[in-house]
Structure 1
Amino acid sequence: MRSTGRTGSTRRLVTAAVCGFALAATLTAPAQAHGPDQGSGQVADNRSGGGSGSGSGGGKAPHWELKDSGTDVRFRGLSAVSRNTAWLAGSKGTVLRTTDGGKNWRNVSPPGAAELEFRDIEAWGSPRTESGGGRRAVVLAIGEGEASRVFRTEDGGATWTESFRNTDAKAFYDCITFFDSRHGLAMSDPVDGKFRILSTRDGGRSWKVLPSAGMPAAQTGEAGFAASGQCLVSSGSRDVWLATGGAARARVLHSSDRGLTWTVTDTPIPAGDPGRGVFAVAFRDRAHGIAFGGDYRADQASPQAAATSRDGGRSWTTAGTPPPAYRSGVTWLPHSRTSALAVGPTGTDLTTDGGRTWRTVDTGSYDTVDCTPDRACWASGEKGRVARLER
Structure 2
Amino acid sequence: MRRTFQTVAAGVVCSAALAAPTAVPAQAQTSAPAQGHRAPHWELKDTGASGVRFRGLSAVGRDTAWVAGTKGTVLRTTDGGTSWRDVSPPGAGELEFRDIEAFDARRAVVLAIGEGEASRVYRTDDGGASWTESFRNTDAKAFYDCLTFFDHRHGLAMSDPVDGRFRILSTADGGRSWKVLPSAGMPAALDGEAGFAASGQCLVASGPSDVWLATGGGARARVLHSRDRGLTWTAAETPIPAGDPAKGVFALAFRDRTHGLAVGGDYRPGQTSAQAAARTADGGRTWQPAAEPPPAYRSGAAWLPHSRTTALAVGPTGTDVTADGGRTWRTVDTGSYDTVDCASGPTCWAAGEQGRVARLER
Match of 2:198 among 215, 224, 227: 227
**CA separation in 2, counterparts of 1:55 and 1:284?**
32
Task: Give the letter aligned to residue 28 of structure 2.
Answer: R
**CA separation in 1, counterparts of 2:84 and 2:34?**
32
What's 1:80 paired with? Answer: 59
Task: Identify unmatched segments of 5+ residues in structure 2.
Answer: none
What's 1:247 paired with? Answer: 218
CA 378–353 in structure 1, closer or farther in 2 if over 3 Å, else same:
same
String of CA shifts for 1:122-174, please: whole Å, max 9, x gaps.
0012xxxxxxxx20000000000000000000000000000000000000000
String of CA shifts for 1:328-364, please: whole Å, max 9, x gaps.
0000000000000000000000000000000000000
Match of 2:18 among 9, 27, 48: 27
Q: Say which is worse superposed, 189-198 or 294-303, in terms of deviation.
A: 294-303
The offset of 1:58, in angstroms, is 4.8
Matched, 1:307 2:278: yes
What's 2:73 paired with? Answer: 94
Matched, 1:184 2:163: no
Contact 2:6 2:197 in 1 (8 A): yes
Higher helix content, 1 or 2: 1
**CA separation in 1, counterparts of 2:106 and 2:198?**
25
Match of 1:59 among 37, 61, 74: 37
1:204-219 aligned within 5 A = 204-219=175-190
Partner SS, residue 294 of structure 1: strand
1:246-265 aligned within 5 A = 246-265=217-236
**CA separation in 1, counterparts of 2:17 and 2:90?**
44
String of CA shifts for 1:157-211, please: whole Å, max 9, x gaps.
0000000000000000000000000000000000000000000000001000000
Matched, 1:47 2:28: yes
CA 235–2 in structure 1, closer or farther in 2 if over 3 Å, else same:
same
String of CA shifts for 1:79-131, please: whole Å, max 9, x gaps.
00000000000000000000000000000000000000000000012xxxxxx
**CA separation in 2, counterparts of 1:291 and 1:278?**
6
Matched, 1:112 2:91: yes
1:226-375 aligned within 5 A = 226-375=197-346
**CA separation in 2, counterparts of 1:189 and 1:57?**
52
**CA separation in 2, counterparts of 1:239 and 1:177?**
11
The offset of 1:26, in angstroms, is 1.6
Task: Give the letter aligned to residue 164 of structure 2.
Answer: G
The offset of 1:298, in angstroms, is 1.1
Task: Give the letter aligned to residue 388 of structure 1.
Answer: R
String of CA shifts for 1:274-298, please: whole Å, max 9, x gaps.
0000000000000000000000011
The percent of aligned pairs where both chains have the same amino acid is 75
Contact 1:43 1:54 in 2 (8 A): no
Contact 2:10 2:347 in 1 (8 A): no
**CA separation in 1, counterparts of 2:100 and 2:184?**
28
What's 2:127 paired with? Answer: 156
**TM-score normalised to structure 1 length:** 0.90
The offset of 1:44, in angstroms, is 3.4
Contact 1:27 1:43 in 2 (8 A): no
**CA separation in 1, counterparts of 2:246 and 2:26?**
29
Contact 1:293 1:306 in 2 (8 A): yes
The offset of 1:12, in angstroms, is 2.2
Aligned-CA RMSD value: 1.6
**CA separation in 2, counterparts of 1:58 and 1:109?**
40
**CA separation in 2, counterparts of 1:229 and 1:54?**
35
**CA separation in 2, counterparts of 1:287 and 1:367?**
25
Contact 1:54 1:61 in 2 (8 A): no
Contact 1:19 1:335 in 2 (8 A): no
Contact 2:124 2:131 in 1 (8 A): yes
CA 111–323 in structure 1, closer or farther in 2 if over 3 Å, else same:
same
The offset of 1:54, in angstroms, is 8.7
Task: Identify unmatched segments of 5+ residues in structure 1.
Answer: 32-38, 126-133
CA 368–192 in structure 1, closer or farther in 2 if over 3 Å, else same:
same
The offset of 1:61, in angstroms, is 1.3
- The aligned length equals 361
Contact 1:19 1:336 in 2 (8 A): no
Contact 1:283 1:332 in 2 (8 A): yes
Contact 1:345 1:366 in 2 (8 A): yes
The offset of 1:2, in angstroms, is 2.3
Match of 1:122 among 101, 104, 129: 101
CA 209–336 in structure 1, closer or farther in 2 if over 3 Å, else same:
same
